[in-house]
Chains A and B, each alone.
Chain A
């Protein structure tokens, strides 16, 4: 090994604490990068493979009732390669020991063979016997959440009729990787599942013998999707076709795409903070090394080493930092990726999801790490290269200090000498002070983001359940009923108050654009289910005309006063025009809203309602449940209160893990930066601090200078960190928001306080660890030491 390389390794060993600090900060950033990019790739590959292997539908469509012979016509539509017709519906389930019945989507299995589109994978058990009407396959997430296994039976109310179903297999489908009940914001594995069952049994239940109400399609490689959709819609128009749609509107796929998008965001946002900090840390550490190595640089050049050789020698130490960081980041990224893959596998029930990051991912991460380290070292290294040997061999000029400037002079005068030392060092070394403050601010910002996201979710849930949906139970009728039915509902056990609602699935058309959405009919004086806008303002439905959510209005290109077309997709399939009389900004959902009586008149069903929201005496749920199961014509019972509990608990588990990871990252960021700064401050001030000890200052008094500087910088960083955290939160929430919900800005004082307290704690710990060196200061050496 060349002598210079030996020196390099010894130098790096001497700087090992700084090297470790840089490597850890870099490692955090790169680990997230490897995890997020790798996970995104793994998920995409897994999804693609799963979709290909199980023939995930390219298009889907629902109809009211289409004769089976139409399937052949549909199969001839341009671009269609394979079609599978199905019967689909919703069942209420009666699980022993569960007082509030969950529900399930019912999907028919082909009479012969396996589904050609949206095929299933069996996790356990066997396929149902085509001759047995009661044998079913149950979705794995729902089975696991409710502890249901093979041979267990379920009582289901299907289209008003009770049936006993026997589980013979537990299955997963690419169609239902993510399952949410219709109209629900979040997945509730315990409350909503999927049942695949005998087609003939379902046909009998829904009176669809020789017909279907749902079809899924695979398209040919060169199919023009919009052309195919148009053809399918034309064919199914007489049979109540609701309009075919592609994967972009399939709930499960949309959710997965959303998850992938979030991984991409994470792959950029978190690593960026860490890489910037690492670059600054390298800058400071190397700056210090080159300052102390000044005479060595002079000697090397005097011996004949070129400027380039000297520059390269010092740049290599930054590269070693980066290499250690890349190693830590890669290893931690793989570990993190594997545990995230486990989480995703359990959550989505992918048949196989293995984390694997491509060589390109690693190369990308290493390149990013290298770039950060090189950017960090470039100024110091250039300085070393430019230093002339003669200059380098003379002692450095003493550091010149100056007063903090006229703006700070009054403040400076009010300080004691020790605090003045702190202030002047901060003003004298602004880049270093800035780096420390930046690192601390980033750590605070990270924690603010980590604490704001759950607070936003909490707020959304509060609004959803506290203002928008205050009912305990929502009953949905199989078809619109006269509002007199409310009197019957009010007589059910435990019902305190019933509020009608109307919901019509429609196609809204305007200016050649169309959107499938629901129009909600809301009573003017609604008390339970209300339209909620910004700052929780409750909005009344317009007395006449229709109110559109802004997102919906934008999709349609509709403005206030425009006339839009409504086409009912179920029931009488009324087509009519209506004027936009309000554009609202609901926090949840992006539907259309009308006054309930106006909507029922418009749909030519005056006085008819789709269901009722109920306020209940929750102690009487059991009696209510018994009665409701006996009533025909109830399509669904949604226990809103229970949904809230389930959602909050699932949510809190996720938040717990996330908070832990963010806290660890913030601790490394703040601790690493503070530790590095403290070590350099100590190294630079060792002589001064020892002098103070000789002069009779106690350890505590001397420690104040070291710890005080760090804490002062941390205090300066607080407002910047909080502001940055708030801005990042707003940006991330805007990225995460969808058609389903909008996030308002939520100020979360407890979260902000935690972010500050935790970060200051990390800085204090780092400072105190370094402070212990003050106890070991060599006071005698200082008497002889030259400045």
Chain B
């Protein structure tokens, strides 16, 4: 099955062909991803849905250069991502990828502004930290340490940190998993805002089916395979989501 991107979008940002990922060997081997073909275009907001262990996070890790497929090939902007050295993958993450984690993963000893600046230090043309934090609605909380911020605020700092490098791709692993509805919605709004304003391709992994309603495409996973790919014709803004 080929899950190609809509035909009107030319050269895809990511092209995945025959991606398999197996952990372990022999009888105990676990096949986390099986034969995934996928094209992802620049600027898309994709929601990856599926139950735990369905393979969506594994795919996110492989796209982020944190894990390598056992077989198959991935191309990023036409260049192979598979077979790259550890060093090359680090530089790939550094230049092109923004991560947002379920538990925020802010550096506790740095303020909100400094957490964003941290990424700016390894990027050529970063967004101003204050501007990035303004974008996620935290312009008033620049000099607060993570321990002084609520969970939702911390996740929004994480979003600001991720976008500060103007990444080509934003990978979000259960970004609302630890948040209540209200704060979760604010985070998703921030993600959508970034996606629209900077055109960063955004992949949101979630097991929350409702979140899928904001995605341009929804890819459903089950038992390591892509079960379906749907183009969402009736996208709703995050503020309309309920769970």
- Looking at the complex, which of B95-103, B190-198, B227-235 is the stretch in contact with chain A? B95-103
The verdict on A428 contacting B109 (CB below 8 Å), with A401-B147, A695-B93, A783-B61 known, is yes
Which residues of A sit under 8 angstroms from B90, Cβ to Cβ?
A: 693, 696-699
CB distance from A413 to the nearest CB of B (A): 10
Which residues of B sit under 8 angstroms from A402, Cβ to Cβ?
A: 145
* Pairwise interchain contact B97-A780, C-beta atoms closer than 8 A: no
CB distance from B210 to the nearest CB of A (A): 21
Which residues between 81 and 106 of chain B lie within 8 Å of chain A, taking CB atoms? 87, 90-91, 93-95, 97, 99, 101-105
Which of A417, A424, A691 sits near B121, CB closer than 8 Å? Answer: A417
- Looking at the complex, which of B8-16, B112-120, B215-223 is the stretch in contact with chain A? B112-120
- B110 is an interface residue with CB less than 8 A from chain A: yes
- A425 is an interface residue with CB less than 8 A from chain B: yes
- B238 is an interface residue with CB less than 8 A from chain A: no
Number of residues in A with C-beta < 8 Å to the partner?
Answer: 34
Which residues of B sit under 8 angstroms from A695, Cβ to Cβ?
A: 93-94, 99, 118-119, 122, 161
Q: How would you classify the secondary structure of chain A's contact residues: helix, strand, loop or mixed?
A: helix
A399 to B110, CA, bound (A): 12
A428 to B107, CA, bound (A): 14
Which of A400, A698, A786 sits near B145, CB closer than 8 Å? Answer: A400
Q: Which residue of B lies closest to A775 (CB)?
A: B86
Count how many pairs of residues, one from A and one from B, have CB atoms less than 8 Å apart in the complex: 98
- A687 is an interface residue with CB less than 8 A from chain B: yes
- B57 is an interface residue with CB less than 8 A from chain A: yes
CB distance from A274 to the nearest CB of B (A): 32
- A554 is an interface residue with CB less than 8 A from chain B: no
- B146 is an interface residue with CB less than 8 A from chain A: yes
Q: CB-CB contacts of A684-696 with B at 8 A, as 1s and 0s?
A: 0001100111111
Which of A401, A417, A694, A785 sits near B66, CB closer than 8 Å? Answer: A694
Which residues between 419 and 478 of chain A lie within 8 Å of chain B, taking CB atoms? 420-421, 424-425, 428
- A398 is an interface residue with CB less than 8 A from chain B: yes
CB distance from A430 to the nearest CB of B (A): 14
- B180 is an interface residue with CB less than 8 A from chain A: no
Which of A400, A417, A784 sits near B117, CB closer than 8 Å? Answer: A417
Q: CB-CB contacts of B157-188 with A at 8 A, as 1s and 0s?
A: 00001000100000001000010000000000
A693 to B109, CA, bound (A): 17
Which of A424, A784, A785 sits near B109, CB closer than 8 Å? Answer: A424
- A787 is an interface residue with CB less than 8 A from chain B: yes
Which residues of A sit under 8 angstroms from B105, Cβ to Cβ?
A: 687-688, 691, 694, 782-783, 787
* Pairwise interchain contact B91-A421, C-beta atoms closer than 8 A: no
- A562 is an interface residue with CB less than 8 A from chain B: no
A691 to B146, CA, bound (A): 15
A418 to B94, CA, bound (A): 16
CB distance from B145 to the nearest CB of A (A): 5
* Pairwise interchain contact B107-A421, C-beta atoms closer than 8 A: yes
Which of B61, B97, B118 sits near A417, CB closer than 8 Å? Answer: B118
A688 to B95, CA, bound (A): 20
CB distance from B176 to the nearest CB of A (A): 15
CB distance from A209 to the nearest CB of B (A): 93
* Pairwise interchain contact B107-A691, C-beta atoms closer than 8 A: yes
Which residues of A sit under 8 angstroms from B91, Cβ to Cβ?
A: 696
Which residues of A sit under 8 angstroms from B110, Cβ to Cβ?
A: 401, 417, 420-421, 424
Q: Which residue of B lies closest to A778 (CB)?
A: B66
Which residues of A sit under 8 angstroms from B131, Cβ to Cβ?
A: none
A428 to B147, CA, bound (A): 14
CB distance from B158 to the nearest CB of A (A): 10
Which residues of B sit under 8 angstroms from A691, Cβ to Cβ?
A: 101, 105, 107
* Pairwise interchain contact B61-A698, C-beta atoms closer than 8 A: no
Which residues of B sit under 8 angstroms from A698, Cβ to Cβ?
A: 87, 90, 94
Q: Which residue of A lies closest to B106 (CB)?
A: A691
A787 to B147, CA, bound (A): 11
* Pairwise interchain contact B118-A786, C-beta atoms closer than 8 A: no
- A77 is an interface residue with CB less than 8 A from chain B: no
- A391 is an interface residue with CB less than 8 A from chain B: no
Which residues between 386 and 410 of chain A lie within 8 Å of chain B, taking CB atoms? 397-402
- A765 is an interface residue with CB less than 8 A from chain B: no
Interface size grouping (class) on chain B: 35 or more
* Pairwise interchain contact A696-B64, C-beta atoms closer than 8 A: no
- A11 is an interface residue with CB less than 8 A from chain B: no
A629 to B101, CA, bound (A): 95
- A779 is an interface residue with CB less than 8 A from chain B: yes
Q: CB-CB contacts of B118-148 with A at 8 A, as 1s and 0s?
A: 1101100000000000000000000001111
- B108 is an interface residue with CB less than 8 A from chain A: yes
Q: CB-CB contacts of A109-136 with B at 8 A, as 1s and 0s?
A: 0000000000000000000000000000
A559 to B186, CA, bound (A): 91
* Pairwise interchain contact A401-B145, C-beta atoms closer than 8 A: yes
CB distance from B92 to the nearest CB of A (A): 8
A693 to B119, CA, bound (A): 11
- A207 is an interface residue with CB less than 8 A from chain B: no
Which residues of B sit under 8 angstroms from A398, Cβ to Cβ?
A: 108, 146-147
* Pairwise interchain contact A399-B102, C-beta atoms closer than 8 A: no
Which of B61, B104, B122 sits near A697, CB closer than 8 Å? Answer: B122
A695 to B107, CA, bound (A): 12
Which of A397, A421, A696, A779 sits near B94, CB closer than 8 Å? Answer: A696
From A399, A400, A696, A786, residue with most partner B Cβ within 10 Å: A696
A775 to B43, CA, bound (A): 33
A629 to B104, CA, bound (A): 94
Which residues between 690 and 722 of chain A lie within 8 Å of chain B, taking CB atoms? 691-699, 701
A699 to B90, CA, bound (A): 9
A428 to B145, CA, bound (A): 13
Which residues between 42 and 70 of chain B lie within 8 Å of chain A, taking CB atoms? 57, 61, 64, 66-67
* Pairwise interchain contact B103-A400, C-beta atoms closer than 8 A: no
Which of A401, A417, A697, A783 sits near B108, CB closer than 8 Å? Answer: A401
CB distance from B30 to the nearest CB of A (A): 14
From A398, A428, A694, residue with most partner B Cβ within 10 Å: A694
CB distance from A426 to the nearest CB of B (A): 10
CB distance from A351 to the nearest CB of B (A): 66
CB distance from B72 to the nearest CB of A (A): 18
CB distance from A411 to the nearest CB of B (A): 15
- A152 is an interface residue with CB less than 8 A from chain B: no
Q: Which residue of B lies closest to A694 (CB)?
A: B99
Which of B64, B114, B145 sits near A694, CB closer than 8 Å? Answer: B64
Which residues between 508 and 552 of chain A lie within 8 Å of chain B, taking CB atoms? none
A425 to B107, CA, bound (A): 11
Which residues of B sit under 8 angstroms from A418, Cβ to Cβ?
A: 118, 121
Which residues of A sit under 8 angstroms from B161, Cβ to Cβ?
A: 695
Which of A699, A701, A779 sits near B122, CB closer than 8 Å? Answer: A701
Which residues of B sit under 8 angstroms from A785, Cβ to Cβ?
A: 103
Q: Which residue of A lies closest to B111 (CB)?
A: A403
* Pairwise interchain contact B93-A696, C-beta atoms closer than 8 A: yes
From A398, A401, A695, residue with most partner B Cβ within 10 Å: A695
Which of A688, A701, A786 sits near B107, CB closer than 8 Å? Answer: A688
CB distance from A257 to the nearest CB of B (A): 57
Which residues of A sit under 8 angstroms from B178, Cβ to Cβ?
A: 786
* Pairwise interchain contact A399-B93, C-beta atoms closer than 8 A: no
Which residues of A sit under 8 angstroms from B173, Cβ to Cβ?
A: 783-784
Which of B57, B97, B165 sits near A783, CB closer than 8 Å? Answer: B57
A402 to B103, CA, bound (A): 21
Between-chain CB contacts (< 8 Å), 7 pairs: A418-B118, A691-B105, A696-B91, A782-B101, A783-B57, A783-B173, A787-B108
**Which chain B residues have a beta carbon within 8 Å of chain A's beta carbons?**
57, 61, 64, 66-67, 87, 90-91, 93-95, 97, 99, 101-105, 107-110, 114, 117-119, 121-122, 145-148, 161, 165, 173, 178
Inter-chain pairs besides A417-B114, A696-B122, A701-B122, 18 sampled, C-beta below 8 Å: A397-B147, A398-B108, A398-B146, A400-B148, A401-B147, A402-B145, A417-B110, A417-B118, A418-B118, A420-B114, A421-B107, A694-B64, A694-B105, A696-B93, A697-B90, A782-B101, A786-B103, A787-B103
Question: Considering the complex of A and B, which 10 residue pairs feature the smallest CB-CB distances, nearest first?
Answer: A696-B94, A696-B93, A424-B109, A417-B118, A691-B105, A401-B109, A400-B147, A398-B147, A779-B66, A421-B109
